[in-house]
Every structure is written in structure tokens, then in C-alpha cells.
């Protein structure tokens, strides 16, 4: 267990460096075009969860804004407390946002929704569909909790340079269905 945590920590450090370099290179527009093209093919009755970017995370906001104008319901995650799944609250471009955990913006007042599609940020991903996050397990717990209620689609959103040969994984790590980058959509 300790060895896997050490591997994850080392991988995370390298991944954050690669992500920061990609962030500066400015591939956000191409990636958002890919994300929007994916989302516009989804049934408008589905609830889509995205996220409010922090640090050098690729921002899904342009795609979220465009898809919300097509009638899709969008929600964003809120950290309630450590060690628990995320809760998702409705978002529109007009939603009043306030500062939440880890510096992410969250809706001040909003309806709670249960997403059908969850777009997640990540530090690194591999061609097996595994993602490496920040290490808090929030998304893995959320995927596990929501899949007990209904089928979901888990989508990583990242720069292509965040790909690694293999993400160190454990049984509690949830496998993604797709990864969307500026270069296209990978399905697993």
C-alpha cells in the first residue's frame, strides 16, 4: 500500500509539471471544441457534471457555457467534507458563484442534481482509462456512490501531454469511459 502511494506521489509531481507546461501552451480552445462536439451528441435529458478549474486544470467553461445554451442541465461538484463523495449542484453561466474548498468556485444557492455524465479533471491518464487525481479520492467515491443509483459515463478532460505509460492504480480507482483532449476523444 505504501509503495503504490509513493508511486502515485512521484507520478503526480511529474504530471503536474507536464500539465503546467501544456496550460501555458494554450490548447484550451481545441480541447473545448472536442468537449463541446462530444457533449452536443448527448441526449439533452442527461445531466452533465463538469467542474470549475483550479490551478493549471484545463478549463471546461467554454464548452459548459455553449452546451447549457442548448438546454442541457449542467452541475458542478462541491466538496462537503474530507473522505466523502462530492455533491453536485446545478450551474448556469448566470449562477452566482462563491469560493469553495481548494479554491474552486461553487454555486452560492442551487439545486442538487445527480449527474449522468461526469467530466473530471486529472493530473495524468493512461491508455487503460485510469486517471490520477490529487489523491483525495473525491471523484472515485463519487463514481462509486452514483453507480449504485444509475449508470454513468465518466469522462476525463485533459491535455494530451498528461498521458503517461501507466497510472499506478488500486482496486478503489475508477476506470474512465473516455478521455477528451485537444487531439480528440479516447474511448475505453
Res 25 pLDDT > 90: no
The whole-angstrom separation of Cα 112 and Cα 116 is 13
Q: 3-class SS at 29?
A: helix
Q: What is the pLDDT of residues 106-149, one digit of tens each?
A: 999 999 999 999 999 999 999 999 999 998 899 999 999 999 99
In this prediction, residue 153 carries a pLDDT of 98
Scanning the structure block, which residue is given the C-alpha cell 479520492?
137
In eight-state DSSP terms, residue 84 is S
- Percent of the chain having pLDDT more than 90? 81
Where do the domains of the chain lie, and which CATH numbers do they carry? 2-187 (3.40.50.10420)
Grid cell 509513493 — which residue? 6
Closest CA to 23 of 133, 139, 160: 160
Q: How far apart are CA 83 and CA 142, in angstroms?
A: 11
pLDDT in tens, 67-102: 999 989 999 999 999 999 999 999 999 999 999 988
CB 146 within 8 A of CB 47: no
Question: Scanning the structure block, which residue is given the C-alpha cell 491518464?
Answer: 125
| Mean pLDDT of the region 157-166 | 95
Say what the pLDDT of residue 37 is.
96
pLDDT at residue 1, rounded to an integer: 57
Amino acid at each position: 500500500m505504501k509503495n503504490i502511494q509513493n508511486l502515485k506521489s512521484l507520478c503526480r509531481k511529474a504530471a503536474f509539471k507536464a500539465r503546467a507546461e501544456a496550460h501555458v501552451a494554450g490548447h484550451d480552445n481545441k480541447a473545448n471544441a472536442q468537449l463541446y462536439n462530444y457533449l452536443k451528441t448527448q441526449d439533452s435529458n442527461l445531466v452533465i457534471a463538469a467542474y470549475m478549474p483550479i490551478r493549471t486544470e484545463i478549463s471546461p467553461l467554454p464548452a459548459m457555457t455553449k452546451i447549457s445554451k442548448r438546454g442541457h442541465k449542467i452541475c458542478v461538484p462541491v466538496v462537503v467534507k474530507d473522505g466523502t463523495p462530492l455533491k453536485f449542484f446545478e450551474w448556469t453561466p448566470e449562477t452566482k458563484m462563491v469560493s469553495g474548498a481548494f479554491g474552486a468556485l461553487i454555486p452560492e444557492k442551487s439545486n442538487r442534481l445527480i449527474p449522468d455524465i461526469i467530466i473530471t479533471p486529472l493530473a495524468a491518464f493512461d491508455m487503460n482509462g485510469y486517471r490520477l487525481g490529487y489523491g483525495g479520492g473525491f471523484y472515485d467515491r463519487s463514481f462509486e456512490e452514483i453507480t449504485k443509483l444509475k449508470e454513468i459515463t465518466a469522462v476525463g478532460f485533459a491535455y494530451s501531454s498528461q498521458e503517461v505509460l501507466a497510472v499506478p492504480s488500486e482496486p478503489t480507482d475508477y476506470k474512465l469511459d473516455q478521455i477528451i483532449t485537444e487531439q480528440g476523444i479516447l474511448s475505453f
